[in-house]
Chain A
Amino acid sequence: MDHSENQAHHAPPLKMFIATFSFLLVMLWLTVAVSYVNLGPLNNVVAMTIAVAKMMAVILYFMGVKAGSKLVWFWAAAGFIWFLLMFFTLGDYMFRPNVVGW
Chain B
Amino acid sequence: MGVHTAHNAESSDHAAVSHQFEDIGQQNEIYIVGMWTFLVTEIMFFGVLFFAYVLYRWKFGDVFYEAHKVLNVRLGFINTTVLLTSSLFMALGVRSAMLKNRKMTLFWLISVIVCAFAFMVIKYFEYSAKIAAHEIPGPFFQWHGPGSAGQAEIFFSLYFAMTGLHGIHVLIGIITLGILAWMVAVKHKAVDDYMPIEMFGLYWHFVDIVWIFLFPLFYLMPHG
Chain A residues near B (Cβ < 8 Å)? 1-2, 4-8, 10-12, 14, 17-18, 20-21, 24-25, 28, 31-32, 35, 38-41, 43-44, 47-48, 50-51, 54-55, 58-59, 61-64, 68-69, 71-72, 75-76, 78-80, 82-83, 86-87, 89-90, 93, 102
Contacts and interface: CB of A to CB of B under 8 A. Distances in A.
A58 B33 contact: no
B224 A50 contact: no
B13 A21 contact: no
Contacts of B212: 51, 54-55, 58
Contacts of B36: 72, 75-76, 79
Interface string B1-27: 000000000000110000000011100
Contacts of B28: 7
Interface stretch (B91-99, B122-130, B136-144, B183-191): B91-99
Interface in B160-209: 193-194, 198, 201-202, 205-206, 208-209
Contact of A62 (B37, B51, B90, B220): B90
Interface of B: 13-14, 23-25, 28-29, 32-33, 36-37, 39-40, 43-44, 47-48, 50-51, 54-55, 58, 73, 77, 80-81, 84-85, 87-88, 90-92, 95, 98-100, 150-151, 193-194, 198, 201-202, 205-206, 208-209, 212-213, 215-217, 220, 222-224
